[in-house]
């Protein structure tokens, strides 16, 4: 465990206890939405035509020959470029652009290069692609699961496939299409991973099987045959773009997954088409598709089910009974007869495909920034100049030269910074650089810290700041001659000159006072409800256990207080025979009851503390005070630690009802007064007034970081309460409804992780950008007093800050743009450090490059945070609309400017962002964006999102589901967490047990007809009837139970979260809860995935045509 700790905060960690343990540092490799994202997905939503298209696709498939061509990317690219230009006017432009981006790639670029970028994992992409071609990729891409197979193939495959497909659409066009398609394809390649192989396979039918059986088959069928036709018809119907469309589809097809499903399923698309008057195609389309699919499906499904995740390629059997099916008819009606036939194959639409093995990732290669692997994948970083993407990642790995370009793309430019993120255990620790009294070398103008991108000139006597461009004198002591390569000779020996992340030892100049001690103040609710629900006992027990995890040494100070309608401090001084309870009864105007002795050195009060924690639950056992003076208590505790600052850990169980900052049950008021409630429903998600905010700002000023553990049974107004942690760099832990049986373990583990995770105190963070870009604003849990800096009374490895960027000038194409984040903080051992994280990215003026280098995970995290930000201040409908539009606009931009040869009938997705619609849909169905949830649930969701790290952003809205009833059949060596099942009820059977987790909660769904043996083995119960409402996962002495425990522990490790485990059964509210997480299903909060795709497609079409 210790390994993962950052150097700054080396903490001993005991790794023994299983579940209890804080989550391990590693992230989950499993979900690589990214990998998928990397690939450009072309979703062809064709109406019925699509179906027919399938037939055409077949031809593409047939084209497999093309593959070869793709294989020889150059050729393709060439072809493509020409095509692109001629093809879609708008797209043409962009595309050409694309190729240029990657010089070497250029040739390839059109087709290949893009994929490369999209590939993300492959990092080198463009270049790679160009030069290396597929093979090259493999290694690079290797990061993903089966690097060789997937990655490499994908790129190649996609393009190839794409090309082929296009060709298919319009036979000759192939070449061109490839080009056009290529971009998408390029992206596509990423997708390929999973599908890629399949794609390839598809191309070469036999191959499929080899690759990913499910995917493979599907592709071929779907893609090959039906898509093309569909596309055509559609295109015809819609516009001349037909060929493109086809190509697109073909891509899709090639990705196999996407294309097929899209068209058929989406009646929607059909609709659009029909109106256009595409009627003719339908008939033909329909049939072909079906047959094809079925056939394919059959095999594919089993496969998918058994082993590989279906991923993007869903091979829905013809029977696709799902909503999509049903939907289709309806659609069809509007559209035409076609509809009936048309549909998107739900099994082939893009889905995240987890990778199971670690990727090795170098941050820079060949003196160029290497696009990062997906945040959710398992990767090992070698810092070769740029910082690890764990610490900082940009929504786009290339920086648009102008604001206009960025606007056109519809994407966001933002950084997600997690300054103390946990490194992978295999990564080299961050090096600490001590410049002694001089302090770190900095630019004298903009104060940027020395970093690998500062260019030394004039024999090393001067250096040019990469941030502001100013030329500084090199300090005499720091002088070093330059080598023949223009670098300082000592560049490789000095971490600050060759590493993207270093830590400087801060000198006195960086301190306004001595570094603060590690102060931990525990504040426990002992009001009647807290006592009676066992929350107090749980809190005391957790604290008691966690005492031993506090940093050793004289600098660790501890204080404790309890509160109900009054506040009770405890004098823990050693001289006293027993702790002395000091009550502050004035909760309107609080104060601290002692100047000293309320906060005592841990070493002096350990016994008293333990004694006290043991006795608190008993002492208040008969407490009849139902009121809670939370605000006052926090304020009083703050006063107690004001002189030093520190961490304030609050355990709160009821709505604060008295004293400063008391709150009212406005949720209930909202319910009773429906008219008012509905008009401004979102107001309930705002803090009720400024009292707590004002308090929080003062806390922050005195470096007090507040974490709140909410163990409640009722509404507690998280919206108001959470202002305090949010402003002070803390967070809210939410246990609702608190269960004295199952929650104490989580409470303990959360607390333990809270205290033991790498963290810093009294921190200040600033991000500097190269000229041309500036920071627009920061989002996260912090306090901001001046525009340029954020104050973080506490910062830890889980906290992420989003930094929105804006242009204030044009950037030069081909230059690099640097971002430097400096975090000045105090470690728990009282050292003052500056962690400097630098990222330098290339600038581009080509839109297609932007799409290729889009980082889906980061973009989505950014979407998520922005949406969460707006929820409290805007009507829900508006937010939902904005979220949807954000997605549509990106896709529209791509469709409009990058996807040259498309037919309007096809939904074309940039490979890197092909999962964007899925995630957007998931976001729309998330707790925060639904209005059927409890106010507090929504508030906590918003609160959680505000500091959520990139790797955890996606699981939060798009959880991971695995089947656990058949775990024991799995191979020992297989990745524990795969295979992942798509979040569709279609994949949930009555005789199965499924585990679904989003990084916070873990739902275990038990079907009605599960084998009782399995129930016995796993839960010690014999039938689903006996499922307890409160559940503690136990390990029984059998392989299955062991496996499940291992699985859960692995997930906990990956998520750095203990997870609240809940059992769900059908026909029960818990079952409904479970199904509400299946975002691909149609449900009251939104359409099914397929429907959504259709909707998106239609919107794009409308905007295209308008």
Partner 1 sequence: MSEIANTDPEGLDGVRMSWNVWPRTKVEASKCVIPLAASISPIRHHPDIPNLPYAPLRCKTCSAVLNPFSRVDFTAKIWICPFCYQRNHFPPHYHMISETNLPGELYAQYTTVQYSLPQNPDPNLGPSPLSPVFLFMLDTCMIEEEMGYVKSALMRAIGLLPENALVGFVSFGTQVQVHELGFSDMSKVYVFRGNKEISKEQVLDQLGLGVARRAGGTGYQKGVPIGFPNSGVTRFLLPAADCEYTLNALLDELETDQWPVPPGSRASRCTGVALSVSAGLLGACSTGTGARIIALVGGPCTEGPGTIISKDLSDPVRSHKDLDKDAAPYFKKAVKFYENLANQLVSQGHVLDLFASALDQVGVAEMKVAVEKTGGLVVQAESFGHPVFKDSFKRVFEEGEQSLGLCFNGTLEINCSKDIKIQGIIGPCTSLEKKGPAVADTTIGEGGTTAWKLCGLDKSTCLTVFFDLSSSDRSNTPGTVNPLLYLQFLTSYQNPEGQLILRVTTISRGWIDSAVSSEELAQGFDQETAAVVMARLTSLKMETEEGFDATRWLDRSLIRLCSKFGDYQKDDPASFTLNPSFSLFPQFMFNLRRSQFVQVFNNSPDETAYFRMLLNRENITNAAVMIQPSLISYSFNSLPAPALLDVASIAADRILLLDSYFSVVIFHGMQIAQWRNAGYHNQPGHQAFAHLLQAPYDDSQVIIRERFPVPRLVVCDQHGSQARFLLAKLNPSATYNNANEMAAGSDVIFTDDVSLQVFFEHLQRLAVQS
Tell me which residues in 450-469 interact with partner 1 (CB under 8 A). Answer: none
Report how far residue 553's alpha carbon sits from residue 980's, in angstroms, rounded to the nearest whole number: 45
Q: Which stretch binds partner 1 (CB under 8 A): 528-536, 586-594, 718-726, 804-812?
A: 586-594
Report how far residue 368's alpha carbon sits from residue 1082's, in angstroms, rounded to the nearest whole number: 44
594 interacts with partner 1 by CB under 8 A? yes
Give how far Cα 465 sits from Cα of 468, 772, 818, Å. 6, 14, 10
Output the smallest distance, CB 585 to partner 1, in A.
3
Output the smallest distance, CB 805 to partner 1, in A.
48
Output the smallest distance, CB 635 to partner 1, in A.
13
Residue placing its CB nearer to partner 1 in the complex, 584 or 723: 584
* Alpha carbon 318 to chain centroid, angstroms: 33
Give the x-and-dash track for 619-648 against partner 1 (CB under 8 A): x----xx-----------------------
Q: Using an 8 Å Cβ cutoff, are 40 and 912 in contact?
A: yes
Output the smallest distance, CB 578 to partner 1, in A.
5
Give the x-and-dash track for 111-140 against partner 1 (CB under 8 A): ------------------------------
Beta bridge pairs of residue 1003: 996, 1062
Output the smallest distance, CB 1031 to partner 1, in A.
34
Output the smallest distance, CB 716 to partner 1, in A.
23
Tell me which residues in 318-347 interact with partner 1 (CB under 8 A). Answer: none
Q: Which stretch binds partner 1 (CB under 8 A): 48-56, 258-266, 577-585, 719-727?
A: 577-585
Output the smallest distance, CB 579 to partner 1, in A.
6
Report the residue from 360, 582, 764, 876 that binds partner 1 according to the rule CB under 8 A.
582
Q: Which stretch binds partner 1 (CB under 8 A): 310-318, 591-599, 739-747, 927-935?
A: 591-599
Report how far residue 659's alpha carbon sits from residue 882's, in angstroms, rounded to the nearest whole number: 39
Q: Provide the strand spans (E) within 690-785.
A: 704-711, 732-735, 759-769, 773-779
Report how far residue 140's alpha carbon sits from residue 124's, in angstroms, rounded to the nearest whole number: 7
Residue placing its CB nearer to partner 1 in the complex, 403 or 594: 594
Q: Using an 8 Å Cβ cutoff, are 448 and 470 in contact?
A: no
3-state secondary structure 113-124: HHHHHHHCCCCC
Give the x-and-dash track for 546-575 against partner 1 (CB under 8 A): -------------------xx-xx-----x
Report how far residue 685's alpha carbon sits from residue 871's, in angstroms, rounded to the nearest whole number: 8
Residue placing its CB nearer to partner 1 in the complex, 589 or 689: 589
Residue placing its CB nearer to partner 1 in the complex, 611 or 681: 611
Output the smallest distance, CB 587 to partner 1, in A.
8
Tell me which residues in 168-197 interact with partner 1 (CB under 8 A). Answer: none
Give the x-and-dash track for 931-960 against partner 1 (CB under 8 A): ------------------------------
Report how far residue 844's alpha carbon sits from residue 841's, in angstroms, rounded to the nearest whole number: 10
Residue placing its CB nearer to partner 1 in the complex, 586 or 1001: 586
Residue placing its CB nearer to partner 1 in the complex, 364 or 608: 608
Q: Which stretch binds partner 1 (CB under 8 A): 394-402, 578-586, 945-953, 993-1001?
A: 578-586
Output the smallest distance, CB 773 to partner 1, in A.
50
674 interacts with partner 1 by CB under 8 A? no
Q: Using an 8 Å Cβ cutoff, are 60 and 221 in contact?
A: no
Nearest Cα residue to 1049 out of 19, 4, 46:
19
Output the smallest distance, CB 661 to partner 1, in A.
17
Q: Which stretch binds partner 1 (CB under 8 A): 43-51, 267-275, 611-619, 1056-1064?
A: 611-619
* Helices 856-870 and 950-957, axial angle in degrees (round to 10): 70
Tell me which residues in 280-309 interact with partner 1 (CB under 8 A). Answer: none
Q: Which residues contact 959 (CB under 8 A, 6 or more apart)?
A: 983, 996, 997, 998, 1077
Give the x-and-dash track for 742-781 against partner 1 (CB under 8 A): ----------------------------------------
How many CB atoms within 10 Å of residue 755?
Answer: 23
Q: How many positions of this chain bind partner 1 (CB under 8 A)?
A: 29
Report the residue from 597, 791, 936, 1050 that binds partner 1 according to the rule CB under 8 A.
597
Give how far Cα 863 sits from Cα of 22, 849, 940, Å. 28, 20, 18
1021 interacts with partner 1 by CB under 8 A? no
Output the smallest distance, CB 703 to partner 1, in A.
21
Q: Which residues contact 692 (CB under 8 A, 6 or more apart)?
A: 631, 661, 720, 721, 723, 724
Q: Which residues contact 933 (CB under 8 A, 6 or more apart)?
A: 927
Report the residue from 307, 432, 581, 665 that binds partner 1 according to the rule CB under 8 A.
581
Residue placing its CB nearer to partner 1 in the complex, 513 or 624: 624
Determine phi and psi for 937, rounding to 5 degrees: -65, -40
Residue placing its CB nearer to partner 1 in the complex, 594 or 764: 594
Output the smallest distance, CB 564 to partner 1, in A.
10
Residue placing its CB nearer to partner 1 in the complex, 360 or 594: 594
Q: Using an 8 Å Cβ cutoff, are 143 and 121 in contact?
A: yes
Report how far residue 720's alpha carbon sits from residue 916's, in angstroms, rounded to the nearest whole number: 32
Residue 1104 burial (10 A CB sphere; 0-12, 13-18, 19+):
middle
Q: Using an 8 Å Cβ cutoff, are 1087 and 884 in contact?
A: no
Output the smallest distance, CB 527 to partner 1, in A.
13
Report the residue from 578, 603, 878, 1034 that binds partner 1 according to the rule CB under 8 A.
578
586 interacts with partner 1 by CB under 8 A? yes
3-state secondary structure 940-960: HHHHHHHHCCHHHHHHHHCCE
1016 interacts with partner 1 by CB under 8 A? no
Residue placing its CB nearer to partner 1 in the complex, 629 or 1056: 629
Residue placing its CB nearer to partner 1 in the complex, 424 or 568: 568
Report the residue from 319, 585, 737, 1028 that binds partner 1 according to the rule CB under 8 A.
585
- Structure token digits, residue 798: 């889980």
How many CB atoms within 10 Å of residue 535?
Answer: 32
Report the residue from 438, 457, 583, 741 that binds partner 1 according to the rule CB under 8 A.
583
Q: Which residues of 1063-1101 are buried (b: 16+ CB within 10 A; e: fewer)?
A: bbbbeeebbeebbbbbbbbbbebbbbbbbbbbbbbbbbb
For the CA atoms of 837, 769, 729, 920, what is the dihedral angle to 10 degrees?
A: -100
596 interacts with partner 1 by CB under 8 A? yes
Residue placing its CB nearer to partner 1 in the complex, 16 or 595: 595
607 interacts with partner 1 by CB under 8 A? no
Q: Using an 8 Å Cβ cutoff, are 243 and 34 in contact?
A: no
Output the smallest distance, CB 534 to partner 1, in A.
19
Q: What angle do CA 215, 219, 222 make, to 5 degrees?
A: 130
Q: Using an 8 Å Cβ cutoff, are 1005 and 1103 in contact?
A: no
Strand 732-735 relative to strand 704-711, pairing: parallel
Output the smallest distance, CB 660 to partner 1, in A.
14
Report the residue from 595, 622, 672, 675 that binds partner 1 according to the rule CB under 8 A.
595
Report the residue from 593, 842, 951, 979 that binds partner 1 according to the rule CB under 8 A.
593
List residues near partner 1 by CB under 8 A: 565-566, 568-569, 575-586, 589, 591, 593-597, 612, 615, 618-619, 624-625
């Amino acid at each position: 465990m210790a390994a993962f700790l950052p150097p700054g905060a080396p903490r001993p960690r005991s790794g023994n206890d299983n579940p209890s343990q804080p989550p391990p540092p590693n992230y989950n490799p499993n979900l690589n939405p990214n990998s998928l994202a990397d690939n450009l997905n072309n979703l062809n939503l064709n109406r019925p035509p699509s179906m027919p298209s399938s037939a055409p696709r077949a031809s593409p498939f047939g084209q497999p020959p093309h593959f070869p061509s793709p294989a020889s990317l150059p050729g393709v690219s060439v072809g493509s470029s020409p095509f692109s230009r001629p093809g879609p006017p708008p797209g043409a432009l962009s595309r050409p652009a694309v190729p240029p981006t990657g010089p070497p790639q250029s040739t390839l670029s059109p087709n290949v290069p893009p994929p490369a970028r999209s590939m993300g994992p492959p990092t080198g992409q463009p270049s790679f692609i160009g030069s290396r071609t597929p093979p090259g990729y493999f290694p690079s891409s290797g990061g993903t699961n089966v690097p060789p197979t997937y990655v490499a193939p994908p790129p190649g495959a996609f393009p190839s496939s794409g090309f082929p497909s296009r060709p298919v659409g319009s036979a000759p066009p192939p070449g061109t299409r490839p080009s056009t398609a290529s971009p998408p394809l390029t992206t596509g390649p990423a997708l390929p991973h999973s599908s890629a192989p399949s794609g390839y396979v598809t191309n070469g039918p036999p191959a499929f099987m080899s690759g990913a059986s499910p995917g493979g088959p599907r592709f071929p069928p779907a893609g090959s045959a039906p898509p093309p036709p569909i596309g055509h018809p559609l295109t015809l119907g819609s516009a001349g773009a037909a060929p493109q469309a086809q190509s697109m589809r073909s891509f899709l097809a090639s990705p196999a997954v996407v294309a097929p499903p899209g068209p058929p399923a989406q009646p929607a698309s059909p609709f659009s088409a029909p109106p256009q008057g595409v009627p003719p195609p339908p008939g033909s389309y329909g049939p072909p598709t079906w047959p094809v699919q079925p056939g394919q499906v059959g095999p594919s499904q089993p496969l998918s089910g058994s082993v590989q995740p279906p991923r993007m390629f869903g091979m829905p059997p013809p029977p696709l009974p799902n909503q999509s099916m049903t939907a289709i008819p309806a659609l069809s009606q509007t559209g035409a007869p076609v509809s009936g036939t048309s549909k998107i194959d739900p099994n082939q639409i893009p889905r995240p495909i987890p990778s199971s093995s670690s990727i090795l990732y170098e941050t820079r290669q060949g003196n160029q920034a290497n696009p990062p692997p997906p945040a959710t994948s398992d990767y090992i970083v070698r810092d070769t100049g740029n910082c690890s993407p764990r610490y900082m990642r940009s929504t786009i790995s290339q920086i648009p030269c102008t604001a206009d370009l960025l606007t056109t793309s519809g994407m966001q430019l933002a950084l997600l910074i997690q300054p103390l993120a946990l490194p992978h255990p295999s990564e080299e620790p961050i090096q600490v650089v001590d410049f002694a009294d001089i302090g770190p070398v900095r630019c004298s103008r903009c104060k940027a810290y020395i970093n690998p991108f500062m260019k030394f000139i004039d024999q090393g006597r001067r250096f040019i700041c990469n941030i502001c461009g100013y030329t500084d004198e090199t300090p005499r002591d720091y002088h070093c001659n330059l080598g023949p390569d223009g670098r300082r000779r000592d560049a490789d020996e000095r971490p600050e000159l060759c590493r993207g992340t270093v830590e400087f030892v801060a000198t006195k100049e960086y301190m306004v006072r001595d570094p603060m001690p590690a102060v931990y103040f525990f504040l426990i609710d002992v009001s009647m409800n807290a006592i009676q629900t066992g929350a107090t006992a749980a809190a005391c027990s957790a604290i008691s256990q966690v005492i031993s995890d506090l940093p050793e040494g004289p600098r660790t100070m501890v204080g404790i207080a309890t509160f109900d309608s009054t506040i009770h401090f405890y004098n823990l001084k050693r001289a006293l025979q027993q702790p002395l309870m000091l009550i502050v009864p004035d909760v309107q105007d609080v104060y601290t009851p002692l100047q000293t002795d309320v906060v005592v050195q841990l070493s002096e009060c350990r016994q008293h503390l333990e004694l006290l924690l043991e006795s608190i639950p008993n002492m208040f056992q008969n407490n009849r005070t139902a009121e809670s003076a939370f605000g006052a208590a926090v304020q009083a505790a703050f006063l107690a630690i004001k002189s030093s600052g520190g961490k304030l850990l609050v355990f709160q169980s009821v709505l604060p009802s008295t004293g400063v900052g008391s709150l009212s049950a406005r949720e209930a008021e909202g319910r009773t007064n429906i008219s008012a409630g509905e008009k401004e429903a979102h107001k309930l998600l705002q803090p009720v007034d400024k009292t707590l905010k004002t308090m929080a700002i003062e806390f922050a000023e005195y470096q007090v970081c507040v974490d709140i553990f909410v163990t409640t049974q009722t509404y507690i107004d998280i919206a108001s309460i959470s202002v305090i942690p949010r402003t002070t760099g803390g967070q809210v832990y939410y246990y609702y409804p608190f269960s004295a049986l199952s929650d104490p373990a989580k409470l303990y583990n959360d607390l333990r992780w809270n205290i033991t995770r790498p963290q810093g105190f009294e921190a200040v963070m600033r991000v500097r950008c190269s000229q041309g870009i500036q920071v627009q604003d920061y989002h996260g849990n912090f306090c901001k007093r001046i525009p340029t800096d954020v104050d973080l009374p506490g910062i830890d490895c889980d906290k992420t800050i989003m930094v929105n960027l804006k242009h204030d000038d044009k950037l030069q194409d081909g230059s690099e743009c640097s971002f430097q984040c400096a975090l000045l903080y105090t470690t728990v051992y009282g050292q003052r450090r500056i962690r400097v994280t630098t990222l330098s990215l290339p600038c581009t003026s080509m839109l297609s490059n932007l799409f290729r280098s889009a980082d889906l995970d980061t973009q989505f995290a950014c979407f998520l945070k922005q949406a969460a930000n707006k929820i409290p201040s805007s009507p829900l409908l508006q937010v939902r609309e904005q979220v949807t539009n954000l997605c549509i606009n990106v896709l529209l931009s791509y469709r409009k400017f990058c996807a040259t040869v498309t037919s309007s009938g096809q939904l074309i997705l940039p490979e890197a962002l092909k999962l964007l619609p899925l995630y957007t849909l998931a976001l729309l169905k998330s707790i925060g964006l639904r209005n059927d949830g409890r106010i507090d649930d929504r508030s906590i969701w918003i609160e959680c999102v505000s500091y959520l790290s990139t790797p955890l952003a996606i699981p939060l809205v798009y959880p991971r589901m695995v089947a656990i009833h058949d775990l024991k059949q799995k191979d020992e060596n297989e990745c524990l967490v795969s295979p992942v099942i798509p979040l569709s009820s279609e994949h949930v059977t009555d005789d199965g047990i499924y585990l679904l987790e989003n990084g916070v909660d873990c739902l275990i769904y038990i079907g009605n007809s599960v084998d009782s043996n399995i129930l016995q083995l796993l839960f010690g119960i014999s039938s689903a009837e006996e499922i307890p409402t409160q559940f503690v996962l136990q390990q029984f002495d059998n392989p299955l139970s062991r496996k499940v425990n291992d699985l859960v522990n692995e997930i906990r490790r990956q998520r750095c979260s203990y997870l609240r485990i809940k059992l769900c059964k059908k026909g029960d509210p818990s079952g409904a809860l479970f199904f509400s997480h299946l975002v691909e299903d149609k449900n009251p909060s939104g359409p099914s995935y397929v429907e959504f795709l259709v909707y998106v497609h239609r919107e794009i079409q409308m905007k295209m045509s308008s």
